[in-house]
Amino acid sequence: MRLSIEQVAAIRREVSLTAGDSARVWLFGSRVLDDARGGDIDLLLELDESVAEPAQLSARLAARVSRCLYGRKVDVLVQAPNLLRLPIHAIARAEGVRL
């Protein structure tokens, strides 16, 4: 995984502040691969509660994490009981690393 301990802590802190302590976050995509280079940060945010405005939550979390990581591009997928589950959610969970 190509994130430092400090970066992981920053992501977890922002997830907790934005989505609550029960939210879980997974890193997936190229940042999971130790031999890859570059790439944005792809996160899967898992929630146990329904979310009324998932796009707004995703954008808000991506912006907060990006600021903590000096402008690095961040993409956030949201998975919640009231949202359609897509194949990308399964891929993120299967290939990702829980932070």
Find the radius of gyration of the CA atoms of the chain: 13
Residue 15 confidence (pLDDT): 98
- Residue numbers of the chain with a pLDDT score lower than 50: none
Strands, E, within the chain: which ranges?
24-28, 41-46, 74-79, 97-98
Residue 56 confidence (pLDDT): 98
What is each CA distance from 83 to 15, 41, 50, 55, 99, in whole angstroms? 19, 22, 8, 11, 22
Q: What is the dihedral of CA 88, 90, 92, 95, to 10 degrees?
A: -130
Q: Do the Cβ atoms of 53 and 27 come closer than 8 Å? A: no
pTM of the predicted model as reported, rounded to 2 decimal places = 0.92
97-98 sheet: strands from edge to edge: 74-79, 41-46, 24-28, 97-98
Q: pLDDT tens across 29-42, in order?
A: 988 987 777 779 99
